[in-house]
Each structure stands twice: as C-alpha cells, then as structure tokens.
C-alpha cells in the first residue's frame, strides 16, 4: 500500500496544472497583492488578509483539478480496472489517492506559510491559529476530495470530466471570493455561504495572534460541508454500483 501511495503522489505531482493553480498561484497572488507602506499595523493587517483569502486555493486547486481529471482518465483508460485485478480495490485506490493528496496539501501549506512569513509583514501566528490552519485545510481537503470523486463517478468521458472539474474549480473560487470581489445577492449568496471558506478566513483574520478563541461555529460549518459532500459521494457510489448490475 505504501508503494501505491508513493505512486499516486508522483502521479499527482506530474500534473503541472495542479502545481500551478494549487501551489504557485496562491503564492503569486498573495505576494503580488502585497504593497508595503510606512504603517506597520496596516502592513500586517493586509498580510493576514491576503494569507487567509488565498489559503483555501491550496486544497481547492490540488484536489478538484488533478484528482478529478486523473481518476476520470484512469477510469476511461481501464487503469482502475487493471489495478482491481492486482488486488487494489476501488476503496484501496481511493484511500491511497486521499493519503497522497493529504501529504501534498500539507506540504504545500507549510511552504505557503514559510514563504509568506519571509516575504510579507505577516506576524507569527499563535499555536492555536496554526492548528486552525491545518485542521481547516485538511477538512476542506476531505470535503473537496469527495466532491472530486462524485464528479468522476457521475460524468462519463475524460473531456466531460475535465470540463466539469474546471467549472467547479472556478465556480467555487468565484462564489467564495477567492478570485474576484463580486458582491453576491439572493440565492447565489446563500449557495456561497454553504461553502465554509468565508468563516474559515474570518476566524484567521480575527484571531491570528489569539491564544484562545471559540472555533465551534467554524468547525460546525466545516463538518456540515463535509457531511454534505459525503452524502453526494454516497449517492454517486450507490448509482455506480447499481450501474454494474
């Protein structure tokens, strides 16, 4: 299993688009959006805001695009079936892919933190904030992973899956304010509120150096989103199994 996880990690690293949108782009946008002034407090506030706003792009870019596209390609080309014959069931494949994604997202998040701490006026976060960063990122990774698998199961054909993955990526980025600063109203605003990017960012912004704060609301929002994506995953998996009979 360890060898297969290494294979999946190398496979994911091979997708340059994932490394660009999930790894490089958040750094470029954060550093590019930072402008130092003589006001230290303003510099720190801007740095924290940029860090928090662009942080969710890491799991979004590294999960939705590479995994969805890779799994769709592997399914269409018969790789998934051949791996089943070698004893790697679909469940084992999903676990290995998830572990590799978690390793990658964690590594890129560490790089993101280290680089921005050394290139902007970003104050050192409290220990609780660091825990919040990684807990939030990993919960988002799990939820987005389930979304990615659902897309790969519901839609057929590599081009279709790739197209839907791109739409979902940019759709989430626009709805959550990760890309652009659109003012949302009505039902679109309600849909955007279901995605827990905003509450995650707000907590980081408000409690960057705090040694104690209530994470209950944020955690509840993240877990509800995870439960919703798990439901979508279960429905997609149910119909996938039924389609075989």
Is 70 within 8 Å of 12 (Cβ atoms)? yes
Q: What per-residue confidence (pLDDT) applies to 144?
A: 95
Give dist(CA 28, CA 58) in Å, integer: 12
What is the domain partition of the chain in residue ranges? 2-243
What angle do helix axes 40-54 and 25-33 make, rounded to 10 degrees?
160
CA 23 to chain centroid: 11
Q: What per-residue confidence (pLDDT) applies to 92?
A: 78
Give the pLDDT confidence of 137-180 residue by residue, as tens digits. 999 999 999 999 888 888 877 788 888 988 999 889 888 887 76
Instruction: Look at residues 194, 214, 236, 203 and name the one whose alpha carbon lies nearest to residue 71.
Output: 236
Predicted TM-score (pTM) above 0.85: yes
Give the pLDDT confidence of 181-192 residue by residue, as tens digits. 666 666 777 777
Instruction: Look at residues 161, 162, 193 and name the one whose alpha carbon lies nearest to residue 177.
Output: 193
Tally the residues of the chain. 245
Instruction: Look at residues 146, 138, 150 and name the one whose alpha carbon lies nearest to residue 200.
Output: 138
């Amino acid at each position: 299993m360890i060898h297969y996880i290494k294979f999946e990690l190398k496979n994911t690293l091979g997708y340059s688009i994932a490394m660009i949108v999930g790894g490089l782009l958040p750094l470029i946008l954060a550093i590019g959006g930072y402008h130092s002034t003589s006001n230290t407090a303003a510099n720190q506030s801007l740095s924290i805001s940029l860090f928090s706003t662009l942080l969710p792009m890491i799991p979004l870019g590294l999960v939705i695009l590479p995994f969805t596209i890779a799994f769709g390609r592997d399914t269409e080309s018969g790789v998934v079936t051949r791996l089943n014959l070698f004893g790697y069931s679909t469940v084992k494949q999903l676990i290995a892919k998830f572990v590799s994604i978690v390793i990658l997202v964690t590594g890129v998040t560490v790089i993101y933190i280290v680089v921005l701490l050394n290139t902007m006026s970003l104050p050192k976060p409290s220990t609780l904030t660091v825990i919040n960063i990684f807990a939030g990122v990993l919960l988002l990774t799990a939820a987005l992973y389930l979304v990615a698998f659902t897309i790969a199961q519901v839609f057929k054909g590599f081009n279709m899956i790739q197209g839907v993955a791109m739409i979902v990526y940019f759709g989430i980025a626009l709805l959550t304010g990760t890309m652009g600063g659109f003012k949302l109203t009505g039902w679109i605003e309600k849909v955007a509120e279901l995605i827990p990017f905003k509450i995650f960012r707000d907590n980081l912004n408000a409690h960057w150096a705090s040694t104690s704060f209530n994470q209950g609301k944020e955690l509840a929002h993240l877990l509800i989103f995870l439960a919703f994506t798990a439901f979508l995953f279960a429905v997609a998996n149910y119909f996938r199994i039924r389609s075989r009979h």
